Amino acid sequence: MKAYLIKRLLQIIPTLLGITSITFLIIQLAPGNPAMLKLQMATQGQVTDTGLSQQIIEQTKKLYGLDKPLPVQYLLWVKRVLTFDFGTSYKDHRKVWDKIAERLPVTLQLNVIALFLIYLISIPCGIYSATHSNTVTDRLLTLFFFVLYSLPSFWIAVLLIMLLGGGDFWDVFPVYGISSIGAENWCFLPWLTDRVWHLILPVICLTYGGLAYLSRLARAEMLEVIREDYIRTARAKGLKERVVIFKHAFRNALLPIVTLLAFLLPALFGGSVIIESIFSIPGMGQLSFEAVLSRDYPVIMAIATISALLTLVGLLLSDILYAALDPRIKLE
């Protein structure tokens, strides 16, 4: 076990180097460079003296170290990242870590609630469907979750805003940001109500897709387990149906569902670009979007690296969880 862990942890290093070097290469080779963009933004495209603007671009490039050859730039970046320093943003010269620290709580708030709801609703639905398989309710639930699974989240988001966001239909929910202006000065209870009120629509959009996926998975896993011989044995022993389902079947069906949790780590961190931009939520998704639009290399690299690392850790975690929960699996 220990040897396996060490081997897996060591394997993360070359994979991570591969990921970061590919990402580095792609963002550097993609057209548009930060120096040029900065000049355009500063002058709003008013510069006519090409010699002067060329000079400014060269200076900016030098400032950011963009004048060095790519491999050198990459190695310098790796050297800095080894000390957990992702550098400063090109856009506002603030530390990348500070920017992330500012946005992460917002995204975590949204995603933790969404994740909690996903597991809370989908598992009972899945179990119900599986234990009542081929009844009308099961078929309706299955169809419902299938439809839910294919609904594009940005469509649902704009539909919800249209219907409930104060247009021609109903004015129930706010559709901008995560709290009202000045809410930070309110007492706790009104502040909380206001926050919850703001979070409802984005949380719905972030929840239903995963909910549909997990319900379908839970149903399939339960159905498979229920057909096993040991379930028949449990029933033959005269155990109550409730005990058979929850103690014997459910625990075994839970395995893949629990390990799935590990894959959700990077999503928890990264947030949703689309949902956050639709609801103007200042989270990680919006940060990545802004970074992409302004070619903010340090921020882009930091986000890509951290989410890749979280994915790798998640994969390892799910393997370990699997082995811990299922004694038949031995990690070699």
- Contacts with another protein, residue ranges (CB under 8 A): 14-15, 18-19, 22-23, 26-27, 30-32, 146-147, 149-152, 154-155, 158-159, 161-162, 165-169, 224, 266, 270, 273-274, 277-278, 288-289, 292-293, 295, 300, 303-304, 307-308, 311-312, 315
Task: Return the residue matching tokens 């928890």.
Answer: 268
Query: Smallest distance from the beta carbon of 156 to another protein, in angstroms?
Result: 8
Rg for the chain (alpha carbons), in Å? 25
Query: Smallest distance from the beta carbon of 15 to another protein, in angstroms?
Result: 6
Contacts of 111 (CB under 8 A, 6+ apart): 206, 267, 268, 271
Nearer to another protein, 151 or 239 (CB): 151
Please state the separation of Cα 179 from the chain's center in Å.
Answer: 22
Query: Smallest distance from the beta carbon of 183 to another protein, in angstroms?
Result: 24
In this structure, the dihedral spanned by the alpha carbons of residues 197, 200, 203 and 204, taken in order and rounded to 10 degrees, is -170
Nearer to another protein, 234 or 308 (CB): 308
Nearer to another protein, 78 or 292 (CB): 292
What is the CB neighbour count within 10 angstroms for residue 7? 11
**Closest alpha carbon to 87 in 240, 313, 260, 302:** 302
Nearer to another protein, 186 or 224 (CB): 224
Nearer to another protein, 18 or 65 (CB): 18
Nearer to another protein, 15 or 109 (CB): 15
**Closest alpha carbon to 7 in 318, 307, 316:** 316
Please state the separation of Cα 57 from the chain's center in Å.
Answer: 35
H or E element: which one contains 319? helix 297-325
Nearer to another protein, 254 or 292 (CB): 292
Query: Smallest distance from the beta carbon of 186 to another protein, in angstroms?
Result: 28
Nearer to another protein, 266 or 282 (CB): 266
Phi, psi of 206 (to 5 degrees): -80, -20
Query: Smallest distance from the beta carbon of 220 to another protein, in angstroms?
Result: 9
Phi, psi of 210 (to 5 degrees): -65, -35
Judge contact between 84 and 244, C-beta under 8 A.
no
Query: Smallest distance from the beta carbon of 328 to another protein, in angstroms?
Result: 17
Nearer to another protein, 139 or 240 (CB): 139
Q: In angstroms, rounded to a whole number, what is the distance separating the alpha carbons of residues 44 and 195?
A: 37
The alpha carbon dihedral of 280, 281, 287, 289 has a sign of negative
Query: Smallest distance from the beta carbon of 134 to another protein, in angstroms?
Result: 15
Query: Smallest distance from the beta carbon of 307 to another protein, in angstroms?
Result: 5
Query: Smallest distance from the beta carbon of 300 to another protein, in angstroms?
Result: 6
Contacts of 47 (CB under 8 A, 6+ apart): 39, 53
